[in-house]
Structure 1
Amino acid sequence: MTLKTIFPVRSKDKGFTFNLWAPKASSVTLVTDFPQSEVPMNQQQYGYWSVTVPDASPGTRYKYELDGQHAFPDPASLAQPEGVHEASEVIALDSFEWTDNKWENIPLGEMIQYELHTGTFSPEGTFEGIISRLDYLLDLGVNTIELLPVVQFSGFCNWGYDGVYPFAVHQGYGGAKELMRLVDACHSKGMAVMLDVVYNHFGPEGNYMSNFGHYFSGKYSTPWGEPLNFDGAHSDEVRNYVIQNAVMWCRDFHMDGLRLDAVHAIFDFGAEHILKQLAGKLEELTTKTGKSYYLIAESHLNDVRYISPFSKGGYGLNAQWSDDFHHALHVLATGDRKGYYEDFGEPEQLSKAIRQAFVFDGVYSKYRKKTYGNSTKNSGGEQFVIFSQNHDQVGNRKHGERLISLSGFEMAKLAAGAMLVSPNIPMLFMGEEYGERNPFYYFVSHLDPELNQLVKEGRKNEFKKFFDDQEEVADPASRETFEQSKLSWNIHANSERRAMHAFYRELIRLRKTNPVLRLPDKDNLKITNTGKSFTLRRWQEGRQILVFMNFDQQPTEFEVPETMSGQLNKLVDSSAKQWKGPGEESPQQVSGGDKVKLTKEAILIYSN
């Protein structure tokens, strides 16, 4: 498949060439400002239109007039300075002066990911606000940030999954050049950048796609909007649109990879799935640039086909999120069994999630009322991203509570430890590293009041499945809801926050430096549990790690396995006073057969 350019690019001679896919139109006129003009476009094959405008330059505003009637913004706009309903703006993607020529991507298995929402991460709510805190993240030990979607959406605040211009960076965050500056700054500090993208649907407000072409087939549906047309008539050009978008982020914005939102809602029954085609195109880009790019899927299917290589009939993505790890951990930590959590609660499920990533790998689900999932036997630990919380699991709660608000301080430390000793890619959700207690709500700011009301009613109905209380749902369209979701920071003014931050910092340091923990090896691993008490052993070429985890509400006693050779030294005890714990009872050194006491809700790590 030869990709067709679909946004304005510099002409070889002078000005810019405008490109558009609009098969539904019998005529298209480019209407520009600065200078004002109306230029008929030339029809090409397969519904494409093109024209070169010598006077066009960065900053030129324009729309496309269809059949001499209505004019709309560009579906592949690179900038929407006045919002989703107004004119698009020409920008030059090749004008930024990059300084990351020597940058090489971080190996997937060595990533410590940090998921953040640009608008709520900093008081500024911009890319500049992130740049100002990169040294903080670097000191914490994070080497990869994952940005929630940053494409243009309606209003001033949104999670980003209601974007309607997939090529345009949200103006309120700083726009395209500021995003480039953020990526360049990250690379200069040795940090990778992953971008969350949405290829299963587009948002409702400012969505003029159907006026131009057959972006939606009408054959399928999602809970969030009509899915894209990847397998019906005219689907070649929709596939071109999406692949061009992914390539743009990696080629022009120097992203190190993409997190693909809800791939289970990407419907494609064609001979070559769009995700496989996308992975193939990024492989081609790697060959051209010499740099690797990662594709990480979010999926509810527990299907390793997404991450299996082409040679095994897979789609060739690099990794996928493991919700099962989160769910097993969450239920043990909080006791919550509502909604999809009803499938979890057995301690053995956490053991299985640590060992195999998927709990449901071909077993029956009470919640889904069916068998689902398949085996991860042939998939490496680096192919699964795990977390104790993320934007969905916090923000889709009725009151937006973070884990620490549900479980308490000691259990939150234990959950962090369980994640960082597991053989997968750990991902933190912004603020958890210092015990942020501000909620993270779902928020929107649509310009249409009726649309805001529909969102509010939809959230209220959704929560009825999970929550019995009659408290009013936080209004997603309220400015207060957005402001309450911002990180409060002020770490050093609070002893609990200082202790949590120091604890995370030490866990991440161990994760990155210990020769056993730093490898995502799920084969050299054994985990057993007695009730809510877990013993985890990992080993690598003579080096050993022994971890005790107590999720119970009572202290417990562990026995060091006889198979542990030699003497082991204590690395971390979450109950220690230095982490603001109740006080440790564990010895500094142990050997096989020794008894070890551990307080309730605590994690203990030994190594030789």
Structure 2
Amino acid sequence: MNIGSQYSGDRTCKFTLWAPLVGEVTVKLVAPEEKIIPLQKDDRGYWHGSVSNIDPGTLYFYQLEGQTDRADPASHSQPKGVHGPSQVIDHSSFSWSERQWRGIPLAQMAVYELHVGTFTTEGTFEAVISRLPELRELGVNAIEIMPVAQFPGERNWGYDGTFPYAVQNSYGGVNGLKQLVNACHQQGMAVILDVVYNHLGPEGNYLWGFGTYFTDHYKTLWGSAVNFDGPYSDGVRNYFVQNALYWLETFHIDGLRLDAVHAIYDFGAKHILAEIAEAVAQLSQQQGHKRYLIAESDLNDPRIIRSPQVGGYGIDAQWSDDFHHALHTVLTGEQQGYYKDFGTLEQLAKAYRHSFVYAWDYSPHRRRYHGSDASDCLSSQFVVCSQNHDQVGNRMLGDRLSSLISFDGLKLTAAAVLLSPYVPLLFMGEEYGETAPFLYFVSHSDPDLIKGVREGRKAEFAAFFEIYGQEAPDPQAVETMERSRLNWEKRHEGKNRLLWLFYQKLLQLRREIPALANLDRNNLEASVVEPEKVLQLQRWCENSQVLCWLNFSQEVVEMKANIPTGNWKKLLDSADSTWGGAGSQLPETLSTQSQPTLILNAESVVIYSQ
């Protein structure tokens, strides 16, 4: 059932609110004129009513029990912020010019995650559009936008949103997002939107007042869980199913990234993820345009992406945190927190071969067995990265890999991700070695909440004070967000430019060489050369083959290579001076007969093709 305000285009608007425990509901128009319209309740707890002589832009509340004003839980726009009235929107007024667009297969995507507020100086949807041509030139064909559901103030990562249907007003609102999606499609780029169905933020969360949306039966990191399986959960489920369809249908979004699904608790016979997947599959079939769902989960549970026919939820893909953790620890040597479970090159090789490192293996960090075998799932159902908003922003100083490893290490990192048999995700700025941090920031208005957030961050990182000699940056300060903005001009300078070109070349090879373009980890061999700390990677597809060596050692390595049958020509060598390297000592060609001793520069990667 559609909920919220549905403007029909003839100065008529239908209002629908799910509030089964409320005894009286009216629509209270507050601008441009004041008016009260009673709604009628059906037997499922939905309140309905139509209002005539109403124009787009009209501001309104729902009034409960004749005295409490509440913004629409399914508000499409909150022009005065999370504490103000909702706004009637005419979605039909936007003129789309991407009618031939039919999307990009997930297996062909190269995804670029960005935060609208810090991607540009302006921090708007419109400003993102001006940078799309360079992203296309780089080789990116999909952008993943961090959450844009209305949050308090103007500064936030987006995970404190409290109006899941409303587009953040400071970013450009409804039309701004549509213009961005329209521009992306015109340039052949898909759009993935990050959505949060496991919790709502603390400020402006008026869903609490309706009495049915949350449950204390389960607890999450953010407090009470969303009520997906308790009494009066049917309307809650519909609320989030319709939200997924709303973004895909009304805004022409190509896919949704579902935040932290491990914090969604549902023990009913049909999991809410399965219900969302079923609804999205129906929409895709109706429109002849495949839409994708990508889950973030730390469970290593392939049930999320298995088909319903074998008891799965039917989600299209999920992030593989194991790949990131294995790569990060090999590069940096870090071992704190969940990194305790990682640190060997063999674990990275296992991630290439099996997607998960922990597939019902004992996890020292968790002190229990963790994960399950995902060998029956497709390689294209896994998204991998070396950096993302969580893995950078949840560090105390928001430091990127560019602050932790060498320039040669950054090239090696790029290759490790882009040579994998999985869907790659880049985090904004990594393609040129951005050094600005990505810090945690908010702009709450409640003094007690601000104090609580500050103290929480301080306590979370108290153990790091002696290491860094400072406390975590103030998340409420404007300067914290401003420090997180990209220095976009750096992409044309010195080694930043070389790194950008290196990413571009890797993305080109990934598109054009069948052995790399075909995402099938069954057509792959990944082995470790010890003690040299070298990963040997071989991939093939029909007559196309590539052979790669990734040297994770900080020393030059000499090794006797076991060359597979055939003649091999060098395609890319990060040690070449072209890429800012010290100069390569590797031959241009290799053959089975020669079996040469290879000299690999420290932190380098070389790719040969047959």
When normalised by structure 1's length, the TM-score is 0.98
Q: Which amino acid aligns with 2:23?
A: S
Paired position in structure 1 for 2:302 = 304
Which of these residues, 28, 31, 40, is aligned with residue 25 of structure 2? 28
Paired position in structure 2 for 1:604 = 606
SS at match of 1:226: strand
Aligned positions of 1:265-284 closer than 5 A: 265-284=263-282
CA drift of 1:17 comes to: 0.8
Paired position in structure 1 for 2:450 = 452
Paired position in structure 2 for 1:489 = 488
User: Closer, same or farther in 2 for the Cα pair 1:559/1:514, shift >3 Å?
Assistant: farther
Q: Which amino acid aligns with 1:540?
A: C
Give the whole-Å Cα distance in 1 for the aligned partners of 2:115 and 2:352.
27
Does residue 1:381 correspond to 2:379, yes or no? yes
Q: Which amino acid aligns with 1:524?
A: N
Paired position in structure 1 for 2:590 = 590
Q: Which amino acid aligns with 1:541?
A: E
Give the whole-Å Cα distance in 1 for the aligned partners of 2:92 and 2:406.
49
Q: Which amino acid aligns with 2:601?
A: T
Aligned positions of 1:160-559 closer than 5 A: 160-464=158-462, 469=467, 470-491=469-490, 494-529=493-528, 530-531=530-531, 532-559=533-560
SS at match of 1:389: coil
CA contact 1:398–1:467 (8 Å) conserved in 2: no
Once the two structures are overlaid, the 10-residue window that deviates more, 407-416 or 391-400, is 407-416
SS at match of 1:516: helix
Q: Which amino acid aligns with 1:125?
A: G
CA contact 2:125–2:180 (8 Å) conserved in 1: yes
Q: Percent identity?
A: 50
Paired position in structure 1 for 2:71 = 73
Once the two structures are overlaid, the 10-residue window that deviates more, 240-249 or 209-218, is 209-218
1:231-270 deviation digits (Å, cap 9, x = unpaired): 0001000000000000000111001010000000000000
Give the whole-Å Cα distance in 2 for the aligned partners of 1:55 and 1:213.
32
When normalised by structure 2's length, the TM-score is 0.97
CA drift of 1:95 comes to: 2.0
CA contact 1:338–1:466 (8 Å) conserved in 2: no
CA contact 2:110–2:425 (8 Å) conserved in 1: yes
Once the two structures are overlaid, the 10-residue window that deviates more, 577-586 or 197-206, is 577-586
SS at match of 1:158: coil
Q: Which amino acid aligns with 1:337?
A: Q
CA contact 1:362–1:374 (8 Å) conserved in 2: yes
1:386-428 deviation digits (Å, cap 9, x = unpaired): 0000000000001100011111211111011010001000000
Paired position in structure 2 for 1:5 = 2
SS at match of 1:220: strand
CA drift of 1:14 comes to: 4.3
Paired position in structure 2 for 1:52 = 50
CA drift of 1:283 comes to: 1.0
User: Closer, same or farther in 2 for the Cα pair 1:126/1:55, shift >3 Å?
Assistant: same
Q: Which amino acid aligns with 2:448?
A: E
Q: Which amino acid aligns with 2:479?
A: E
CA drift of 1:448 comes to: 1.1
User: Closer, same or farther in 2 for the Cα pair 1:492/1:418, shift >3 Å?
Assistant: closer
SS at match of 1:572: strand
CA drift of 1:520 comes to: 0.7
CA drift of 1:211 comes to: 1.3
Structure 1 consecutive aligned stretches of length 4 or more whose deviation exceeds 3 Å: 11-14, 464-468
Q: Which amino acid aligns with 1:157?
A: R
Give the whole-Å Cα distance in 2 for the aligned partners of 1:465 and 1:305.
37
Give the whole-Å Cα distance in 1 for the aligned partners of 2:213 and 2:412.
46
CA contact 2:306–2:313 (8 Å) conserved in 1: yes
CA contact 2:400–2:437 (8 Å) conserved in 1: yes
CA drift of 1:13 comes to: 6.1
CA contact 2:465–2:471 (8 Å) conserved in 1: no
Q: Which amino acid aligns with 2:589?
A: Q
Q: Which amino acid aligns with 2:145?
A: L
SS at match of 1:299: coil
CA drift of 1:166 comes to: 0.2
Q: Which amino acid aligns with 1:22?
A: A
CA contact 1:339–1:466 (8 Å) conserved in 2: no
CA drift of 1:68 comes to: 1.3
CA drift of 1:110 comes to: 0.7
Give the whole-Å Cα distance in 1 for the aligned partners of 2:225 and 2:291.
25
Once the two structures are overlaid, the 10-residue window that deviates more, 137-146 or 284-293, is 284-293
SS at match of 1:604: strand
Paired position in structure 2 for 1:571 = 571
Does residue 1:108 correspond to 2:106, yes or no? yes
Give the whole-Å Cα distance in 2 for the aligned partners of 1:177 and 1:498.
34
SS at match of 1:199: coil
Give the whole-Å Cα distance in 2 for the aligned partners of 1:309 and 1:362.
21
CA contact 2:525–2:538 (8 Å) conserved in 1: yes
Give the whole-Å Cα distance in 2 for the aligned partners of 1:417 and 1:354.
13
SS at match of 1:120: helix
Q: Which amino acid aligns with 1:89?
A: Q
1:511-569 deviation digits (Å, cap 9, x = unpaired): 1111110111100111111242111111111221001011111111244424x232211
CA contact 1:545–1:606 (8 Å) conserved in 2: yes
CA drift of 1:468 comes to: 5.1
Residue correspondences, number: 604
Q: Which amino acid aligns with 2:523?
A: N
CA contact 1:21–1:213 (8 Å) conserved in 2: no
CA drift of 1:359 comes to: 0.3
Q: Which amino acid aligns with 2:381?
A: Q
SS at match of 1:8: strand
Q: Which amino acid aligns with 2:494?
A: S
User: Closer, same or farther in 2 for the Cα pair 1:307/1:466, shift >3 Å?
Assistant: farther
CA contact 1:560–1:591 (8 Å) conserved in 2: no
Does residue 1:146 correspond to 2:144, yes or no? yes
CA contact 2:513–2:544 (8 Å) conserved in 1: no
Give the whole-Å Cα distance in 1 for the aligned partners of 2:10 and 2:114.
42
Give the whole-Å Cα distance in 2 for the aligned partners of 1:555 and 1:224.
48
Give the whole-Å Cα distance in 2 for the aligned partners of 1:361 and 1:466.
32
1:411-446 deviation digits (Å, cap 9, x = unpaired): 111011010001000000000000000000011111
Give the whole-Å Cα distance in 1 for the aligned partners of 2:584 and 2:299.
41
1:203-232 deviation digits (Å, cap 9, x = unpaired): 010011021240002111111232210000
Give the whole-Å Cα distance in 2 for the aligned partners of 1:185 and 1:80.
24
SS at match of 2:383: strand
CA contact 2:491–2:500 (8 Å) conserved in 1: no
Give the whole-Å Cα distance in 2 for the aligned partners of 1:186 and 1:576.
35
CA contact 2:432–2:491 (8 Å) conserved in 1: no
User: Closer, same or farther in 2 for the Cα pair 1:414/1:492, shift >3 Å?
Assistant: closer
Give the whole-Å Cα distance in 2 for the aligned partners of 1:223 and 1:384.
25
1:341-390 deviation digits (Å, cap 9, x = unpaired): 01111111010011111000110000000001000110111010000000
CA drift of 1:584 comes to: 1.3
SS at match of 2:517: coil
- Residue segments in structure 2 that go unaligned for 5+ positions in a row: none
CA contact 1:112–1:141 (8 Å) conserved in 2: yes
CA contact 2:304–2:312 (8 Å) conserved in 1: yes
Give the whole-Å Cα distance in 2 for the aligned partners of 1:467 and 1:262.
29
User: Closer, same or farther in 2 for the Cα pair 1:370/1:492, shift >3 Å?
Assistant: closer
SS at match of 1:364: strand
Aligned positions of 1:121-140 closer than 5 A: 121-140=119-138
- CA RMSD of superposed structures (Å): 1.3
SS at match of 2:605: strand
Does residue 1:19 correspond to 2:16, yes or no? yes
Which of these residues, 131, 152, 155, is aligned with residue 157 of structure 1? 155
